[in-house]
Amino acid sequence: MVVLDSDINSAVQIESISWKRSTIGVDSGIFTNFKIYMGYSTLDQLGDTFSANYIQGTRTLVYSNPSYQVVAGGPNNWFTTTLDTPFWYSGNNNLIIEFEWSTGAGSIYAWHWAAGPNRAIFGAYGSDTSDGSENSIPHMMINGPVGLQSETLGSIKATFGGE
């Protein structure tokens, strides 16, 4: 899926991703050969070839687990995947987040929102060609350290009454 730079609004070190579980499906699942890739794109809508959607050289494996078990808890709970390798998103260009797995058991569903045409594509495991597109993307949070606003020592002292 592609996340627009206007949806993120700033640079961030992405350390984890959280999804909000919907009211359907079960609260746990196992995904075999589960991987997450991130990278940059200039596209607002994704084309049919996964690799062609990335700015060349930016596709980065950020999470890999041969048998990933997710326990989401009850409906409307958030569940989080902590990345193996944090990804620096500079705030420039759009962000692609790509998920893949070969097989699985269980049906965990996350809430989605209508994001516009071709914001998400899907295909067979190991294929570089899409089998279709979605106009919705998961309701999720991109998590990382909170940035601090640059301030001068004088303004900090004035704010907190220092001398």
DSSP letters, 29-40, are EEEEEEEEEEEE
- What is the value of pTM for the model shown? 0.87
Instruction: Identify the pLDDT of residue 158.
Output: 44
- Overall number of domains in the chain: 1
Domain that holds residue 44: 2-160
Q: Which range has highest mean pLDDT (2-11, 62-71, 113-122)?
A: 62-71
What's the whole-number mean pLDDT along residues 44-59?
A: 96
